[in-house]
Amino acid sequence: KMTTEEKVYQFLSRVRNYESDIRRAEVTAKELRSSMLPSAVRYDKEKVMSSKEDATAETAARVDELERRIEEIKGQKAAAIMEIDDLLGRMAEEIGGEKGRMQVDILYLFYIGRQSVYAISQRLEISERHCFRMKKQALKNFTEIFKSCH
């Protein structure tokens, strides 16, 4: 059974995971599309089992399937961002003030903006060490909000 902290990490990491899935599907679709170009068709090889038309139709169907899947994942990513953003908004309200805004910014920039702690510390004009401490506290606070609604 997963701990609450593991559930929170998994919840926050969904955006990153969806982006990875989208990139992988886009690269696969691009490669399959390029294999259907006339220059990619080889006529010097013996025909095996299926004709060129069958292979091209199969490849085109796979590209269509991948493009539908990409749109589906983009929708899931958007839903995850909105869900995370809603909880971050609740967290900001509960903590309040500059401290709350900074903690929300750190989590948002790290998990949704995919920025490094170094980049976040530069942006917020704080030391990396302080950024790590604030991120740790922000995760504790976020976990409390998460527990109250999951």
> Residue 31: what residue type?
E
Question: In the predicted model, what is the mean pLDDT of residues 54-74?
Answer: 92
Contacts of residues 128-133 at CB distance under 8 Å and 24 or more positions apart, as own/partner, are 131/106
- Residue range 131-150, pLDDT digits in tens: 999 999 999 999 999 999 88
Q: How far apart are CA 48 and CA 50, in angstroms?
A: 6
Alpha-carbon radius of gyration of the chain = 22
Q: How far apart are CA 61 and CA 77, in angstroms?
A: 24
Q: What confidence score (pLDDT) does residue 49 get?
A: 52
Q: Name the DSSP class of 111.
A: I
> Residue 108: what residue type?
Y
- Residue range 4-62, pLDDT digits in tens: 999 999 999 999 999 999 999 999 999 999 888 776 555 555 555 555 566 788 999 99
- Residue range 95-121, pLDDT digits in tens: 999 999 999 999 999 999 999 999 999
pTM, to two decimals: 0.81
Top pLDDT among 65 and 47 is at 65
Closest CA to 61 of 40, 36, 24: 36
Q: How far apart are CA 102 and CA 138, in angstroms?
A: 9
Q: Where are the beta strands (DSSP E) in the chain?
A: none
Q: What confidence score (pLDDT) does residue 57 get?
A: 87
